[in-house]
Amino acid sequence: MTSQNQLKHISKFLSLVLRHKPETIGLTLDPHGWANIDELIHKASTSNEIENIDRDLIQEVVDTNDKKRFIMSEDGQHIRANQGHSIRVDLQLQPSVPPEFLYHGTATRFLDSIIEQGLKPQQRQHVHLSADTETAVSVGKRYGKPVILKIKARLMYEQGYEFYLSENGVWLTSYVLPEFILS
């Protein structure tokens, strides 16, 4: 069996090339964020970025990843990240109606700026929100002492802001104005 560390290492590598920097291994994603798996394996193996990557390991990461970060096309030829991109891709997600409230986990040190400027996507394509507070806490912890912001998502939607639900259950929107944030 593959060790958890090995799978995590591959997951981080896939996040790098499928969300942020495909050029690290000379890979090109299609406009919808898909990479050809054979090409990815070939280019990964001839780079110094990762050792021992093959189709079975990629399949295992897709199947066992805690956040279901990646998805394979039905024919098994392509793979993409479900969310989290900093590069421009069109995931072709349909706008969805959000629940009354969604949550965003951040660190206390960002609060003043967020209350003043609103929630910005920063390096990513979207602001990431969750339907539950547990996820928000773990997201916020990555940057320091976590704090959860409650977002008036349905009100935003009613005022014309679009929301998308990624394949792995993350809510995405472009920007959240301060007036929609409850802390």
Binding site for ligand HQG (CB under 6 A): 67, 69, 84, 106-107, 110, 113-114, 117, 119-120, 122-124, 128, 139, 143, 170
Strand intervals (E) in 65-111 = 70-72, 78-81, 102-107
Q: Which is nearer to ligand HQG, 42 or 72 (CB)?
A: 72
CB of 170 to ligand HQG, least distance (A): 5
Q: Which is nearer to ligand HQG, 25 or 147 (CB)?
A: 147
Spatial separation of the C-alpha atoms in residues 86 and 84, rounded to whole Å: 7
- Contact between residue 77 and residue 124 where contact means Cβ atoms under 8 Å apart: no
Other beta carbons within 10 angstroms of residue 129's beta carbon come to 25
Q: Which is nearer to ligand HQG, 77 or 183 (CB)?
A: 183
Residue 7 backbone dihedrals phi, psi, to 5 degrees: -65, -40
CB of 6 to ligand HQG, least distance (A): 18
Spatial separation of the C-alpha atoms in residues 76 and 63, rounded to whole Å: 13
CB of 166 to ligand HQG, least distance (A): 9
Q: Which is nearer to ligand HQG, 19 or 43 (CB)?
A: 19
Q: How far separated are the first and last CA of the chain, in Å rounded?
A: 44
CB of 67 to ligand HQG, least distance (A): 5
CB of 120 to ligand HQG, least distance (A): 4
What are 48's two structure tokens?
């110094």
Q: Which is nearer to ligand HQG, 67 or 154 (CB)?
A: 67
